[in-house]
Amino acid sequence: MTTTVSVAGGDFRPYEVVVGRGLLAGLGARVAPLARGRTVVITDETVAGLHGKAALASLKAAGVPARLLTVPPGEGSKSFAELERVIDRMLAFQLDRTDVIVALGGGVVGDLAGLAAALFMRGIDFVQVPTTLLAQVDSSVGGKTAIDTPRGKNLVGAFHQPRLVVADIDVLATLPERQLRSGWAEVLKHGLICDAAFFDWLADTSVSGGAAGAAGDPAALERAVVRSVEIKSAIVGEDEKEAGRRALLNLGHTFGHAIEAELGFDETKLTHGEAVALGCALAFRFSAAGGLCPPDEAERVGTVIAAAGLPTRLDQAGAFQSAALVGRMTGDKKAEGGRLTLILARRIGEAFTAKDVDAAALTAFLDRELSGS
């Protein structure tokens, strides 16, 4: 079964996110109506080896002239140097504004190719074909594109919505288990933000429950991706530029980002998804500590995250100082005018933006977390 979710609202041109199994083979037929000229498929070396041939064959069979442009795998490709090289190749291929970029890969490829598409000749169309769970449920939808600088991640970017997103569940079968579980953190996050019934299903370990998705069950993954995309699309449709409600999608991210930064963004120690999972557990416990959320809800969040093989305690990630973490959190680019803004929760499925969070209370909370009390 194929599900189509519309992303519509605000100032951008509406587009569809198509979720289903075996979609890569039909990619060309979906891209052909958008491609007036040629197509360049931007991908990384790993994904090129796994899915590059299938994507090119499908585009060519649909009459869309296509070639591959490959970047090295990993966050290092989200750089000015790689962006310049990609745009230079696009110019050398003599692309023009009638052409379409296809971003085939995970979040790094999507962010880099999306930014190249936003900048090339003041903007050309691009199609997202996310090949990781994290990219399918989060980064491919919503039009955030970016590269990193030595001063921080995602600091240079543009909002540039794709014309189409094609999320093929079958490509997740080749994902390393740790990456799949990392993407699952963003799935759990969507339930925690605004859909308690979805979270209940994700926690359900029975045959018809969603918990099997974290271990790669395709039927559970498909339903989880569809619901995540529905939730994200609705939020982006209301608030494309993150003036309000879109900030809720950062649940777990301010804690998570501080932890990742302290670890030098070393994905071998902690992946982004693991940091988000740990960040969600901390955000719920901090909410409970402040009397905002019932403690048993925060405890359940931790139990469900742990059951998915994801971290819930700081000592699982490394050794930290509370002051260093709070320093990172107040320096977070989501902080407004030096005040600490955090996404907290009233209960599962009811996240909210808390402004003016007391840094001293946060430090005391993290000290308790770090001492295990």
Contact residues toward ligand GLY (CB under 6 A) are 138, 142, 144, 246, 249
Distance of closest approach, residue 316 Cβ to ligand GLY, in angstroms: 23
Q: What is the 3-state secondary structure (H, E, C) of the chain?
A: CCEEEEECCCCCCCEEEEEECCCHHHHHHHHCCCCCCCEEEEEEHHHHHHHHHHHHHHHHHCCCCEEEEEECCCHHHCCHHHHHHHHHHHHHCCCCCCCEEEEEECHHHHHHHHHHHHHHHHCCEEEEEECCHHHHHHHCCCCEEEEEECCEEEEEEEECCCCEEEEEHHHHHHCCHHHHHHHHHHHHHHHHHHCHHHHHHHHCCCCCCCHHHHHCCHHHHHHHHHHHHHHHHHHHHHCCCCCCHHHHHHCCHHHHHHHHHHCCCCCCCCCHHHHHHHHHHHHHHHHHHCCCCCHHHHHHHHHHHHHCCCCCCHHHCCCCCHHHHHHHHHCCCCCECCEEEEEEEEECCEEEEEEEECHHHHHHHHHHHHHCC
Residue whose CB is less far from ligand GLY, 240 or 262: 240
Residue whose CB is less far from ligand GLY, 138 or 230: 138
Q: Is 250 a catalytic residue?
A: yes
Q: Is 328 a catalytic residue?
A: no
Residue whose CB is less far from ligand GLY, 114 or 142: 142
Q: Is 51 a catalytic residue?
A: no
Distance of closest approach, residue 272 Cβ to ligand GLY, in angstroms: 10
Distance of closest approach, residue 142 Cβ to ligand GLY, in angstroms: 4
Which position among 160, 163, 223, 257 bears the catalytic label? 257
Q: Is 246 a catalytic residue?
A: yes
Which position among 190, 232, 285, 347 bears the catalytic label? 232
Which position among 160, 163, 181, 186 bears the catalytic label? 186
Q: Is 369 a catalytic residue?
A: no
Q: Return the residue nearest ligand GLY (CB atom).
A: 249
Q: Is 242 a catalytic residue?
A: yes
Which position among 253, 285, 328, 347 bears the catalytic label? 253
Q: Is 190 a catalytic residue?
A: no
Q: Is 257 a catalytic residue?
A: yes
Distance of closest approach, residue 242 Cβ to ligand GLY, in angstroms: 6
Distance of closest approach, residue 71 Cβ to ligand GLY, in angstroms: 21
Residue whose CB is less far from ligand GLY, 138 or 297: 138
Q: Is 253 a catalytic residue?
A: yes
Residue whose CB is less far from ligand GLY, 35 or 193: 193
- Annotated active-site positions, please? 122, 144, 186, 232, 242, 246, 250, 253, 257, 272
